Every structure is written in C-alpha cells, then in structure tokens.
Amino acid sequence: GVQGFIFDLDGVLTDTAEFHYRAWQRLADEENLPFDRQANEALRGVSRRESLLKIVGDRPYSEAQLQAMMDRKNHYYVESIQDIAPTDLLPGARELLNELRQAGIKIALGSASKNARPVIEKLGIADLMDTIADGHSVERPKPAPDLFLFAANQLGLQPDQCVVVEDAAAGIEAAIAAKMLTIGLGPVKRVGAADVVLPDLEGVHWADLQAKLNAAKR
C-alpha cells in the first residue's frame, strides 16, 4: 500500500508558479525575447537552465550570458518570494499534510527549485516534511525520475509505495518514469497522464485519495 507522499512545491502547495512566470517574463521583455503565458506552459516544473534554454531557443548566447540571465531571473524570483507567509499555502494543502501525517504516511518535498527550502520555511510547513528533495539534490532534472527516486530513498521507501503530487506535465512524466502513483493537479490537458486528476487540493482527503488511487491501479 501507499506509505509515502512526495509533494511538488511550486503550483501544488503554493502559487509560486506565477512568480516564476513573472520573473521569466520580466527577463524576456528586457532581452526582447518573445515570451508569454502560453509559452510559459512548457516551462512549468522545468529546471532554471532548461527553462532559459527554451526561452532563448537557437539564439547564440555564450555560457556567461546564459549564466547572467539565470542569475537575473533568480534575483527577480527571490525578490518576489520574500513576503510569502503561511496564508500563501493553497487551500487544502495544510489539512492534507496534517491528515497524512496522522495516518502515519511519510511526506517528502520533491521540488526542482533551488529556492524550495526558504519557501517552505516561510510557508511554515518545513516541520511537516520528513525529507526535502530540491534543486540541489540530483543532477538530472524532471522529467528524469531522479529527484523522486532520491526522495523515496530518503524516506526509506520503494517507488511503488510512493504517490507523487504534481501540477506540471514534466513532473507527472518524471513520476511515471520513477514507477510511482501520480496525482495531477490542474487541467487534463496538462496533467492528464496522471492516475488521478484533480483541480487542486481543496477539500481533498486521504480516504478519498486512497479509494481513487486503488481504482486507478490495474
């Protein structure tokens, strides 16, 4: 049965996906690179470097220029997360985390972000995590399974004992590659490959999830 949950952060527990988008938009505008919300869809859950590479396309930037642009975007992003507070947890997030803990389920953070730790501290949920896998944990980013496998290993669990909660196509792909059960949050167009698709975590309870995940397992 399920013994662990691995939660993505940005777009799952809090709406920092919007801050990532705005920081990239600001950088793209300054660099006169074409970018908009639509283009940002392909960046959801994607690492900092891969995101920038998608924005610049085949334009010839040097490694130093790419590095400078990544630093600039991160500076904008870090600025925007300073005021994050517990009230910025998305509806249902804290309730589900508490419920899972009470049920004896282990909880990991599985975020591609190098800023994940300060964000969960500001959200006041660092204590609810048994382990944290973030942008510093593994080399290969999502959609590679590495980050989620690292998280499961830290929890002392096998992949098939873990459920991944994700809002990004790249994250669902990574979880499937890790052979874990998946809960996709958001439109079917984005997370339709997940075992269970829900709009968000509002009103979501462990008992319902258990039933839905069991039904999804063939």
Residues lying near ligand BG6 in the complex (CB under 6 A): 9-10, 17, 20, 43-48, 51, 74, 111-115, 135
Residues 36, 21 contacting (CB under 8 angstroms): no
| Catalytic hit among 10, 134, 167, 195 | 10
186 lies in the site for Mg ion, by CB under 5 A: no
Query: Is residue 10 among the annotated active site residues?
Result: yes
Rank residues 171 and 207 by Cβ distance to Mg ion and give the closer one: 171
Closest separation in Å from C-beta 12 to ligand BG6: 9
Query: In angstroms, what is the minimal distance from the CB of 20 to ligand BG6?
Result: 4
Partner that binds at residue 135, options Mg ion, ligand BG6, none, CB closer than 5 to 8 Å by kind: ligand BG6
Q: Residue 25: which of Mg ion, ligand BG6, none does it interact with, CB under 5 to 8 A by kind?
A: none
47 binds, options Mg ion, ligand BG6, none, Cβ within 5 to 8 A by partner type: ligand BG6
Neighbours of 55 (CB within 10 A): 22
Structure tokens at 112: 């591609």
- The answer to whether residues 89 and 14 touch, using CB atoms and an 8 Å cutoff, is yes
Query: Would residue 8 show up in a list of annotated catalytic residues for this protein?
Result: yes
Inter-residue contact 163 to 141 (CB < 8 Å): no
Q: Is residue 22 classed as helix, strand or coil in its secondary structure?
A: helix
Cis-peptide, bond into residue 118, ω within 30° of zero: no
Cα–Cα dist 72/61, whole Å: 15
| Of positions 43, 133, 155, 168, contacts Mg ion by CB under 5 A | 168
Looking at the Cβ atoms of 2 and 5, the one nearer to ligand BG6 is 5
Q: Applying CB under 5 A, which of residues 134, 167, 173, 195 lies at the interface with Mg ion?
A: 167
3-state secondary structure of 35: coil
Alpha helices (runs of H) in the chain, residue ranges in sequence order: 16-30, 37-40, 48-56, 63-81, 93-102, 116-123, 146-155, 169-177, 188-191, 206-216
Stretch that binds Mg ion, among 29-37, 76-84, 145-153, 166-174 (CB under 5 A): 166-174
Residue at shortest CB range from Mg ion: 11
Other residues' Cβ atoms within 10 Å of the Cβ of residue 68 = 12
| Residue that is written with structure tokens 């790419």 in the block | 66
10 binds Mg ion per the rule CB under 5 A: yes
Query: Least distance to ligand BG6 from the beta carbon of 6, Å?
Result: 13
Q: Which residues bind Mg ion (CB under 5 A)?
A: 8, 10-11, 45, 167-168
The catalytic site residues sit at 8, 10
